[in-house]
Amino acid sequence: MSPTPNRIVIVTAPSGAGKTSITRHLLHQIPALGFSVSATTRQPRGKEVDGRDYHFIGTDEFRNRIREGAFLEWEMVYEGKYYGTLMSEIEEIWLEDRIPLLDIDVKGALRVMGDARVRTLSLFIQPPSLDELERRLRSRGTDSEDSIRDRLAKAEYEMSHRDRFDRIVINDQLDKACTEAESMVRAFLDS
Ligand code: 5GP
């Protein structure tokens, strides 16, 4: 398999749907994938490390990068908080002969899918239900009540767009969802 430098794998889902666990599984099992570290203006949470989980930057710097055209896509994912995929990050991964794996929100994913410069495989991770999603967000214990409400409202909107993605992975059992996602990505890499 020799990856051509225009392929991108996107994993998207409502926050709390298990996207991070599935992303980690894919990166661990498929060395040809490289994680695209997004830029964001939100504060680091828990054990997050700058440059590994996100590039944590200030709002002015983020806006400058937008003006420079540095992003493949960017969104204000939550009120006042920007998130974006840097083109430089993608190009670096392609240069290593690997395929970027993007863990981004639904709007950002749709934007990348509509970009003629890239060929994408998009996976939508669906939580079993909105009630279950709420339970997961609460048990994670890292989000404030306001942030949980924000995330649930956004999840409803995101679920309504799921049919626009190449594949839907229902995450009612994490192991099964990981295996399913892995075989979808392997098929794309072999195509
Ligand atoms: P969190 O704050 O929980 O890390 O991420 C919130 C949401 O932003 C998640 O759905 C995550 O996938 C999304 N996200 C992370 N990076 C990016 C990005 O570069 N672009 C877009 N559009 N969304 C992102």
Q: Does the Cβ of 42 fall within 6 Å of ligand 1?
A: yes
Structural domain includes residue 16: yes
Structural domain includes residue 50: yes
Torsion of CA 6, 99, 53, 102, to 10 degrees: 50
Q: Which long-range contacts (CB under 8 A, 24 or more apart) does 46-49 make?
A: 46/142
**What residue has token string 């679920």?**
159
Q: Does the Cβ of 14 fall within 6 Å of ligand 1?
A: no
Structural domain includes residue 48: yes
| Model pTM score | 0.90
In terms of C-beta density within 10 A (0-12 exposed, 13-18 middle, 19 or more buried), how is residue 166 classed? middle
Structural domain includes residue 1: no
Cβ–Cβ < 8 Å for 130, 155: yes
What pLDDT, on the 0 to 100 scale, is given for residue 4?
A: 52
| Ligand 1 atom having least distance to the Cα of 106 | 22
Q: Does the Cβ of 108 fall within 6 Å of ligand 1?
A: yes
Greatest CA separation for the chain: 47
For residue 175, the CA-to-ligand 1 centroid distance in Å is 23
What pLDDT, on the 0 to 100 scale, is given for residue 115?
A: 93
Find the CATH number of the domain harbouring 47. Answer: 3.40.50.300
Structural domain includes residue 147: yes
Domain count, the chain: 1
Q: Does the Cβ of 15 fall within 6 Å of ligand 1?
A: yes
The protein residue with its alpha carbon nearest to ligand 1, atom 20, reads 84
- pLDDT tens digits along 114-161: 999 899 999 999 988 888 888 888 887 777 888 888 888 888 888 999
Q: Helix or strand or coil: residue 101?
A: strand
| Ligand 1 atom having least distance to the Cα of 81 | 2
Q: Does the Cβ of 77 fall within 6 Å of ligand 1?
A: yes
Q: Does the Cβ of 18 fall within 6 Å of ligand 1?
A: no
| Ligand 1 atom having least distance to the Cα of 20 | 12
What is the domain range of residue 53?
A: 7-190
**What residue has token string 């195509």?**
191
What pLDDT, on the 0 to 100 scale, is given for residue 69?
A: 97
Structural domain includes residue 2: no
Residues of the chain under the 50 pLDDT cut: 1-3
Distance separating alpha carbons of residues 25 and 157, to the nearest angstrom: 26
